[in-house]
Structure formats: C-alpha cells, structure tokens
Structure 1
Amino acid sequence: MNELLYTHFHPDEHRFVDKASEWVERAEQHAVKLTDFLDPRQAFILTTLVNRSQDVQVRFDGGHPDAERRRALVAPDYRVLDAEDTGIRLIEVTSLDDKLKELDHGDYMGAILGLGIKRDKIGDIYPSENGCHFLVAAEVADYMRLNLSQVHRVHVQTELLPLEKLHATGTKLEEMSLSVASLRLDGIVSDVYRLSRAKVLIPIKAGRCKVNWKQEEDPSKALKQDDVISLQGFGRFKVLEIEGLTKKGRFRLKIGKYA
C-alpha cells in the first residue's frame, strides 16, 4: 500500500509517510497517538492519510490557533479529543542583560538545540525585546527549564508559564523589492540572498531547499504568491506579492525575509 502512496510524495518524505501510515493503522485498531511537533508539510501528509480512513480522526494543536508547528492526536473516530492534553508547555526566557533585545529566533533555536533537544520537541519560538516565549513538548519541558541558562553568550533565566500567558509576537519580515526576469526558484533565491545563480544551483540540486516545507530540487520551479522558501544555512523568505510586469517584461516582486 505504501508503495502506491510514495508516488505522491518526495522520496525524502517516504520515511515520514511510513510513520504516519503506522499511526493511522494503529488508530484503526483503537489506539491513540500523540505526535511530536509537525511542520505544515508533515501536517498536510498526515491529514491526507487520515482522510483515507473513515474510522480515524486527527486533532492538531500548537498552543494557540495560529501556530505553525503543531502536535497531532491521531485517534479512532469515536474518541472525543477536545479535552485531551496535547502535552504542550510554555517556557519564558528573561534576562537582566540589555543584550537580550538583540537576540533573534536563530539565537534561541541554536541554544535549545545545543542542549541536545531534537527539533521535533520544539514548537513555535517568539522572541521579543523583553525575552522569548517558546513552546515545547511536556516531556522535555523540565529539562529545558533547568538547563537553558545561556543564549548566544547572554545569561538567561527560564520559567514555566500557563499556556494562556503566551505572548505570540508577530513574525518579523524584512521587506525587499525585486525585479526578476522570471519566477524561477533559482533566480529569485539568487537575488534574495545576493548569490550567483551557479552558487544557488548546488544547494537546490542537493536537496537543501524547500518550498512550502517540501523539498524542491528543480531550479526552474515557478514560484507564486505566498510561497515560503527556505535555503539551508541562509534562512527563509516569503513571496509577499507579485506586483506585475515592468515595461521591459520583468516581474516586480515584494519579498519578506524572516528575521
């Protein structure tokens, strides 16, 4: 059965397809599975597989309604999931050091992963001038609270807070305007990161680029409005708007780079 499913997904996604298929099969046999945090692409794959079964349901929760990364409860369709604990905890990071306001998403992510925590156990991260709120799986929350004492050479304190105290800061995007000959992935990535076309072809063809959280190895793929693109080692950006054509037939784009 999975061999047929594989045709719909990138080869690098087949391992997750296998895991998600197993969750669905177990739910058909009356078991309940609480997953780690899933990115939007993984959530899409899981939803696709759940929809193939009449006897299984899924509930997603990321700690708040607009969460990007969410845990999933996969369960038999008769199970009432609204009151089920999805195992999400909120940690607040603060400091008396003025340099705290200079820290960004990457700094906090690096400090968390540096403790040996897998990315799958971490939900959304919300940095602000006053510190940071981030969501973690309950099973690693105490370890995080006790061991996260420094972020990019800034000494910090941590505290577990109730989820209703979450301050979900808006995503900061650095806007830029581009004029490009086409909507090809390699051309736009090249302009956004100010790299030569030759230099972006290597990571794209090596599978280090994702479009909407899906690995994309075709440099000629046409991008569209609202696409989110990430290039390993360089961050990610969003195509905010395709504004139209110039007199010379070039596309005017508005891009938002994630801070």
Structure 2
Amino acid sequence: MTKEETLFQRRLLDLANMADQRNIVLFSDFLSLNELNIYHSSKKELGFVTCRLFGGYEAAERQMIAFIPDALSYDIGTDPESLPYGWEYPFSCIRILPLHEKYADKLTHRDFLGAILHIGIERSKIGDILLTEDGTYVFCHNTMTELLCQELTHIKHTSVYAQCTGLKDFSWHPSYETIHGTVASLRLDSLLSLAFNSSRSSLTSLVENGSVYVNGRLTTSNGYKLKENDIISVRGYGKFKYCQTLSETRKGRLSVELQRYK
C-alpha cells in the first residue's frame, strides 16, 4: 500500500478503537472504491467491532462505514442500514431541480459534482449522485447539508435549487440494460468482454492496472471466477451485475444474463 493508503487504514482502526472504548457508534466519511477495498482487506483487524456499510440505497457505490461496539450490537438487524436504536447515519439526501425546466441545460454527473466541489465541499463528504427523471439526488454529510442547499444555485448556465429530502422517503431503483450472451467460462475477463462489447484482450489491462472492483474489492486477476449477483465496477466504463447462468450450450459455452447499469 502507498503511504496515503496506510494512513487511511490506520484511520479506520482508530475509529473502530474509539467506538469500542467510548461505547458509541462512529462513522467514516463516504468511501471511494479504493477505500472500500482497503476496508475489506482490513476486516480481520476490525473484527472486534461490528461494521455496517450504507450509502443511502441498495447498491450504492460510495458508502459510509458504521463502527458498532459489541455492547450495542445485540439489537441491530441484518439489513446493511440497520443501526442500534437511536442512531442514524449522518448524511442527508438532497434533491436538486432546475428553477426553470424550459431553459435548463442537459447536465451530467460531472457537472453536478464539479459545481458541488466548487462551493468548497470535499469529495469525502459527498456520496452517490443520481440523475433521475424527477430530479438529481445527492447524498451529503450532515455537516455540509446546509451549505449545499444555500450555496448551490447554478450549475453551468442553469439556475437550480436544492432541498433536503428525508432518507426514509427516498426510493430509487437503478436503471439497467439486460444483456444475454454466451461465454467460455465465468472468468472476469470473459464477462467484462460481454458486458462492454469489447474484446478480452482490450480489457485485460484494466484488470491488471487496478481499474476493476468486484463488490467493492479490487480484483487484479483476469481469471477471477465470478459468482451470481456479483457487482463489477470498472473505472471509466461503468458497472454491471452478473445475474445468473441460464444454460450450457452443446459446445460447452455458458449462456449468461447480465445487468449493465445506465
């Protein structure tokens, strides 16, 4: 690991120790895919507390860790967002809408993120940004919620307004394209080729260079065998889920179903 990654791992251990010693629930900031990978690699060292991951909705990419001491872990459920009674994740859901829909630009994820960072909010305080038909939703650390709602008034040439929406009222299901095809095996490189309609050879470097994550864990082996419901994220390409193997052809190839997120 790099020096920065080692410091991040130490930060996770410090949070876990403080939660255990003070008998309270503590939270990380929103973690990137690489930081989530470091967390997954540190589970043994963090085994003295219960950890929960949540980013506001199922399959969120950027998530917070809740560090729960043993004394408080007896009454938590099995759901990822389940916390001891009286505790909540310290982030809000912000809905962003154009002031005048008729004159609004067609804005991208990058446009929203750039505008949010421009008003002085650090990336670690922002979770996923979801562009939907009824507005754009941003998950934001509670310490930055008021600033975002007050200061985010323009994105490029579009006037916007932001308002807090309760997490319990938020419901969103990802939009995806279903892909069917045949592969020689369930190797990672084979399914990458099918998901992104590219040759295996053109995608192998993505795996070897550390651009591919399976369920938040960095995976650098093209021969890694995927399991049903694994979610694969690829920097610069997007993400998809390997749903199931449907059948086997006479030639021994596997007919599979994928869902590529839009």
TM over 0.5: yes
Aligned counterpart in structure 1 of residue 174 of structure 2, from 150, 171, 175:
171
Cα distance between partner residues in 1 of 2:11 and 2:123: 17
Q: Any unmatched runs of 5+ in structure 2?
A: 74-83
**Cα gap change, 1:243/1:16 in structure 2, threshold over 3 Å: closer, same or farther?**
farther
**Cα gap change, 1:207/1:36 in structure 2, threshold over 3 Å: closer, same or farther?**
same
Q: Does residue 1:160 correspond to 2:164, yes or no?
A: yes
Q: Give the aligned residue type for 1:143.
A: L
Q: After TM superposition, give the deviation of residue 45 of structure 1 in Å.
A: 6.0
Q: Which residue of 1 aligns with 2:89?
A: 86
Q: Any unmatched runs of 5+ in structure 1?
A: 1-5
Asked if the contact 1:148–1:158 (Cα under 8 Å) also holds between the matched residues in 2, the reply is yes
TM-score scaled to structure 1, two decimals?
Answer: 0.76
**Cα gap change, 1:142/1:72 in structure 2, threshold over 3 Å: closer, same or farther?**
same
SS in 2 for 1:156: strand
RMSD in angstroms over aligned alpha carbons? 3.4
1:1-259 equivalences in 2 (<5 Å): 16-30=8-22, 32=24, 33-38=26-31, 49-50=45-46, 52-53=47-48, 56-58=49-51, 62-63=55-56, 66=58, 68=60, 69-78=62-71, 81-95=84-98, 96-97=100-101, 108-109=112-113, 111-113=115-117, 117-151=121-155, 154-166=158-170, 168-259=171-262
Q: After TM superposition, give the deviation of residue 22 of structure 1 in Å.
A: 1.8
Cα distance between partner residues in 2 of 1:194 and 1:67: 23
Q: Which residue of 1 aligns with 2:79?
A: none
Percent identity, aligned pairs only, is 26
**Structure 1, residues 150-196: CA drift from partner, whole Å, max 9, x if none?**
45764422112343442x22111111111111211112212321223
How many correspondences in the alignment? Answer: 245
Cα distance between partner residues in 2 of 1:57 and 1:251: 39
